[in-house]
Amino acid sequence: MAILPTIYNYIQLTGTIIPDTAAIRLQVEQEYRSVFGEDLSLAPDTPQGRMIEAETLARIAVATNNATLANQINPNIAGGVFLDALGALTGLSRNADEYSLCVDCVLGGVPGASVFAGSSKAKDAQGNVYFATVTTVFDGAGQAIVTFQAEVPGAISTPANTLTSIVDLGTPSPGWEAITNPTASALGAAEQSDISFKILRSVTLGVQGSSQAAATIARVNLVPGVRTGDMVFRENYTGAPIVIDDVPLVPHSIYVDVYGGTDEAVATAISQVKSAGAAYNGNTSVDLVDPSSGQVYTVLFSRPVLVPIYAAVTIAGGSGVPDPVQSTKEAIIAYANGQVNGELGLVVGADVSPFELAGAVTCLNPSIFVKDLQIGTSPGVLSPATIDIFISQKATIGVSDIVVETV
């Protein structure tokens, strides 16, 4: 039929366009009338009306699927394995699942009895299940020290002395009688999301370049221990000392302020792509030996000044949330650590917005309503105003710095 190519030619020079639903329905109606006659009733409450509706929805689903597949070449839209493939073009891969650990748990039991890796399990006060990572035997005093790993990946928070219940899942460990975790769990992380991976890709596109801001930014962002975006870069390309964003820079120099990673790893990443002859700025000095010439280079970069942030939050609601107060605190910490999709969090040079902190609470706990949220750099002076952070600073916040009230 002549109308088919017009409707379904949706991959155009201007992009991938899904056919209009009304146009598809009109086409289906025309097909029905061409078979059953022009006087066929197409009212929605007739059998043929319902069949036309079903056929229209089926065709829309196919068109949408095809458009989605076609768009997987677009890194801003791609997801899953398609996004992984685009990241691989620059040697990038997303962070895998990480599991929370309760390190050096103290176990009690019958001397000589065993605890088995994988099958000996315990759960905390919130019901999170952990399993022993190694097989061990209780000593003569009936004690053993074992690290337990969470069954599911992600940032599972288990406070100290709350992993106390032994779980019998059909494979008990005879003689195992008690367990406790002297310290809080070391938090894991879920597999890097598409949104987070897209952000990482966008800031590391220059990884294959050199002598450019993009190359330095990319290399530093890929240093182990540096969170995505937790750094700033500035350059003085003039022959005179100048001040950029309140930071003094010597002539023809670069300035890198980064949080995380070892000093040597950061210095190496910067030196590998810096313009030849350009000077450095910073409060951290690392001597590196050039592998080709043997010459020693002193690399300078900065570590940010940490600015403690305090918050007071008033919330309402929270139905279905076991502990709204704790969940509110954890949401703010998740935002600060860049664990809210699409947000870098409190990285170097990032201002602190009470609006964004409140948004993180609502995003992660939709049933919690934030009535008020005030912040400050000291616990006694709080306000709803944004706190400005210089590029030489990094805001920090901990659970103990957050006070939550319910109304």
> For 227-243, what is each residue's pLDDT tens digit?
999 999 999 999 999 99
Burial 262-271 (b: 16+ CB within 10 A, else e): eeebbbbbbb
Residues 6+ apart with CB under 8 A from 314: 370, 371, 372, 373, 404, 405, 406, 407
| Mean pLDDT of the 368-379 span | 96
Longest dimension (CA), the chain: 93
The tally of CA atoms less than 13 A away on the side-chain side of residue 252 is 7
| Mean pLDDT of the 399-407 span | 94
Helix, strand, coil percentages in the chain from 3-state DSSP, rounded to 5 = 30, 30, 45
- How sure is the predictor about 5, in pLDDT bands with cuts at 50, 70 and 90? very low
Query: Does the pLDDT at position 193 exceed 70?
Result: yes
pLDDT in tens, 25-70: 999 999 999 999 999 999 999 999 999 999 999 999 988 888 888 8
How many whole angstroms from its chain centre is CA 363?
A: 14
Tally of residues, the chain: 407
0.75 exceeded by pTM: no
Least confident stretch, 4-13, 84-93, 95-104, 335-344: 4-13
Query: Does the pLDDT at position 189 exceed 90?
Result: no
Distance CA 150, CA 170 (A): 18
Distance CA 64, CA 61 (A): 5
| Mean pLDDT of the 253-259 span | 97
Residue 101, H or E segment? strand 101-109
Distance CA 236, CA 260 (A): 24
Among candidate residues 231, 297, 237, the one with its CA nearest the CA of residue 266: 231
Query: And the tokens for 322?
Result: 């076991």
- How sure is the predictor about 6, in pLDDT bands with cuts at 50, 70 and 90? low
Name the average pLDDT for the chain: 90
| Mean pLDDT of the 257-277 span | 92
- How sure is the predictor about 202, in pLDDT bands with cuts at 50, 70 and 90? confident
Query: Does the pLDDT at position 210 exceed 80?
Result: no
Phi and psi at 208, nearest 5°, equal: -90, 0
Least confident stretch, 11-20, 188-197, 360-369, 381-390: 11-20
The reported pLDDT for the residue numbered 2 is 41
